[in-house]
Structure 1
Amino acid sequence: MKWSEWFIDEKYSKAFQMVGLVNKVREEPIYLEQKMTDNNFFIIRFNSVGIGIEKWKDKKQEIESALDISISKIKIGNKNTEIIIEGMKGKFDYSMPIYWENSYLTPRNSLILGESMGKQISVDLDVYPHILLGGSTGSGKTNLLKLLLMQCIKKDYAVYIADFKGKVDFSYKWDKYCHFVTTIEDVISNLDGICKELLDRQIIFGSKGYKDIDIYNEREENKLQHIVFACDEVAELMDTTGYNKEEKNKIAIIQRKLSMIARLGRAFGIHLLLATQRPSVDVINGAIKNNISARICGRAEKTLSQIILDNIDASDMIDTDIQGMFVNQDGEVFKAYLFNDDCLERSDGSYGKEYSPYF
């Protein structure tokens, strides 16, 4: 081992011993490799010596303090015996706001969420076709949902938003580019149309041998739009507390249709963006949730974090006094971009086709 590598290894060994990150025989993780980028972002690989990833996450803040670093992600490496830490030197200030610029818009089916240490964080809808978003009141959840929907509009997706709060979070500018459904009956009708379109596309793609919407649009003159169904509080669609039998039947219809889209939508360019702040296991049933692989949670109590992420990372990793900070299904902590509704339009008119009924 070179002198410089010995010095680095010794630094980590002392820090891990100090914070109690050791295995049953008091061995600390073994340093293997470190890569640095120009902006102080690092990727460090360790032999875990049998210390589980949950213990690493539990010790995250103590590790940061001991080493004067900020950790954005802790994950298992290419081998089960390895742990990888990503982050940067010094303290990363998540309290500072960051602002959306139209130049961030990607040409393909990727939606930008915000920034972590040294990089942008995004969701590729070709890989993660549906998104489940959670966060307590004041976490910035609605802003992040609107950020994603704004990008969908700019990509000329057909956007439908279920809103039962009187559109208090959406200015009149949104009416020009998307369609709002405001009653349970409207939601059923809208989902009927989306599911019918899904089945029509399934027949067309099958008859022509196309495996997904991208191949269809590459080869056909009449292009198909991606379709997005979004809801800022999915509990309004799922909670049947106090409902009579007829009303419960309507909710059951909605659940079946959302389950169908969650299960089959990816190949046909049909996506769900569902958000909630309600910490209840009844909010989203298993048939829907199990088919939504992109999970994002802002500031939240343990119950809500467990519902969204299947772990308590949002409770453990996000400061309670910071708005707009989130953690995703991969354990990456990031700050979401802020934007205002003027971003829906540009003076050159190159973005934002006006809404017209798809069905």
Structure 2
Amino acid sequence: MYMSNMNMSNRPNKKDRLQRETALIQTLRRIRRGAADALRDPRKFLTLALLLPLVLMLWTCRHQVLGYAPGSILTPLYNLAALFMTGTLLLGLPVVLFWLWGGPLRAVPISNNLYRAGFTNSAGEAPTLLNIATDAGNPRVRIYEFYSCGIPLTDWQERCGDLQAAINVTVADIRQGRDNQHILVAAVPGSCRLPGMLPWSPAYASQEEGVVAVGESLLGRVFLDLNVLPHFLIGGSTGSGKTNLLQLILMQLLRQGSMVFIVDFKGAVDYLNRAWCQDSRLVFTPEELTAVLEQFIVELEARKTAFREAGTGNILEYRRKTGQDLSRCVLAVDEFAEVLDKTGASKEQKEQIAKIEAMLATLARQGRAFGMNLFLCTQRPDAGILAGQIKNNLLGRLCGNTPDPELRRMILGDTPAADAVPPDAKGRFITQDGTPFQAYYFDTTLSVHTKEGGAG
């Protein structure tokens, strides 16, 4: 019985066998990648080509190398030793070079660090670093390609902190590689951080219609493209910078020629600048909002007819085909809880709110192709305030800092990125695709149409 237990304890278990098997497979893959790279790279191919004359020279000079005279009784043994040595060099040295060329030298230390951090699969295997490349659009960003060892993308995103500590980087993006077994991590050196404040400059503005710049991420400038995501939900606590971000967006759209309507039932104290009154329309009451939304619906139907007659599918095609400079219609609601909250409302007020909700839902469903865009800001977009038929069509999401993790998930959805915004970072936001960025600070005391200086 004792001997049986000893044999069982000495027998390698399945977990150890899997680890050895994976290590062997990864080593062979690395050698294969190095061999393929050597065939593509002329310098590496030349290095291999020089090995053959080096080995032939060694064989020719084997007497001097091994220190023996030809004709000795031990000559066959010396020749056998020389043959073994040259054969080892001829076969082994290329394999060593292929291994060195097949992946970064940091692969083993990084895998060991991931193992120490517990970043492993159920068999105890850490991911393998396959390659490190410089991002074409941003020289300071490195793209780390990993063989995931069966660890899914969601686990990588949830354990981003362990990954950053193991590699000593600040991760900007984690996404799927060429298949489900490969993960791409975009990162900058661990010393890099997002700035605390970024003053706006007109030089940051996009020249493409419907595209606005909102801030800087670790990967570079962050833009919102209304041609792709036409409606946005902007959330965050009081003081997080929601209103300043909204003003930054609206300012750029005004400069592009959009018609902007700003709904603010708090008295529009953030829009007292004369430029906002001149260049946009301010809406202060439910009656005014109802009238504006009715105008939007009428305009929506008119554009449907015009686009159908012109045979175009969206506003950009309509402009190109007809030559008409059709403006975007942008409706921005600053703190829409003040608009849609039915708490304590009378029957007539509830009917009016229901009418407003219905028209907002129509614009959210149908406005994209016709250049009619919605921006809804709030502290808490719960179901009691924002109906699902509206929220589900607000595919663009920008979440500012908030101490409530449930609120972050309410804004962004159920994604690991919801925890990426520090609760005390003013002006820090995260997009629906998980990109944290520092929003530009727009000086609202300057004109909306200022061409120079700190504001656009």
Fold-level similarity (TM above 0.5): yes
CA distance in 1, matches of 2:219, 2:324: 40
Point out where structure 2 has 5 or more consecutive residues left out of the alignment.
Answer: 1-29, 31-98
2:185 pairs with 67, 79, 85, which one? 85
2:233 and 2:411 in contact (8 A); partners too: yes
- Post-superposition offset of 1:209: 0.7
- Post-superposition offset of 1:134: 0.9
After TM superposition, list the pairs within 5 Å mapping 1:243-282 onto structure 2. 243-278=345-380, 280-282=382-384
After TM superposition, list the pairs within 5 Å mapping 1:277-296 onto structure 2. 277-278=379-380, 280-296=382-398
Partner of 2:338: 236
After TM superposition, list the pairs within 5 Å mapping 1:141-152 onto structure 2. 141-152=242-253
1:121 pairs with 222, 231, 234, which one? 222
| Distance change in 2, residues 1:241/1:201 (3 Å) | same
Amino acid at match of 1:251: I
2:418 and 2:434 in contact (8 A); partners too: no
Amino acid at match of 1:155: Q
Is structure 2 residue 316 aligned with structure 1 residue 218?
no
2:143 and 2:187 in contact (8 A); partners too: yes
**Larger RCO, structures 1/2 (Cα 8 Å, 6+ apart):** 1
Partner of 2:405: 302
Is structure 2 residue 100 aligned with structure 1 residue 3?
yes
2:425 pairs with 322, 337, 354, which one? 322
After TM superposition, list the pairs within 5 Å mapping 1:122-137 onto structure 2. 122-137=223-238
Partner of 1:357: none
Partner of 1:169: 270
Partner of 1:355: none
Name the structure with the higher helix share: 2
2:169 pairs with 63, 66, 69, which one? 69
Larger-gyration structure (1/2): 2
Partner of 2:141: 41
CA distance in 2, matches of 1:295, 1:325: 13
| Paired residues, number | 350
| Distance change in 2, residues 1:219/1:279 (3 Å) | closer
CA distance in 2, matches of 1:291, 1:343: 33
- Post-superposition offset of 1:271: 0.3
Identity fraction in percent: 34
- Post-superposition offset of 1:50: 2.5
Amino acid at match of 2:428: M
1:234 and 1:276 in contact (8 A); partners too: yes
1:107 pairs with 207, 210, 213, which one? 207
1:294 and 1:329 in contact (8 A); partners too: yes
Which segment is superposed worse, 273-282 or 307-316? 307-316
- Post-superposition offset of 1:95: 4.3
Name the structure with the higher strand share: 1
| Distance change in 2, residues 1:142/1:39 (3 Å) | same
1:297 and 1:314 in contact (8 A); partners too: no
**1:298-337 residue CA offsets vs partner (Å, 9 max, x unmatched):** 1122222122110255652112221111111111111111
2:153 pairs with 50, 53, 73, which one? 53
Which segment is superposed worse, 151-160 or 280-289? 280-289
Residue 114 of structure 2 aligns to a residue whose secondary structure is: helix
Q: Which runs of 4+ in 1 moved over 4 A?
A: 312-315
Amino acid at match of 2:230: P
CA distance in 2, matches of 1:311, 1:169: 32
| Distance change in 2, residues 1:112/1:6 (3 Å) | closer
- Post-superposition offset of 1:78: 4.1
| Distance change in 2, residues 1:146/1:237 (3 Å) | same
1:238 and 1:283 in contact (8 A); partners too: yes
RMSD: 2.1
CA distance in 2, matches of 1:77, 1:287: 34
Is structure 2 residue 116 aligned with structure 1 residue 12?
no
| Distance change in 2, residues 1:239/1:48 (3 Å) | farther
1:209 pairs with 311, 316, 320, which one? 311
| Distance change in 2, residues 1:49/1:146 (3 Å) | same
CA distance in 2, matches of 1:338, 1:23: 43
Residue 233 of structure 1 aligns to a residue whose secondary structure is: coil
CA distance in 2, matches of 1:110, 1:11: 43
Partner of 2:442: 339
**1:220-243 residue CA offsets vs partner (Å, 9 max, x unmatched):** 244211010001112122221121
- Post-superposition offset of 1:347: 5.6
Residue 188 of structure 2 aligns to a residue whose secondary structure is: strand
1:299 and 1:315 in contact (8 A); partners too: no
Is structure 2 residue 297 aligned with structure 1 residue 195?
yes
Which segment is superposed worse, 321-330 or 152-161? 321-330
Which segment is superposed worse, 148-157 or 16-25? 16-25
Partner of 1:157: 258
1:302 and 1:312 in contact (8 A); partners too: no
CA distance in 2, matches of 1:105, 1:188: 33
Partner of 2:124: 26
Partner of 2:15: none
- Post-superposition offset of 1:96: 2.5
TM-score scaled by structure 1? Answer: 0.91
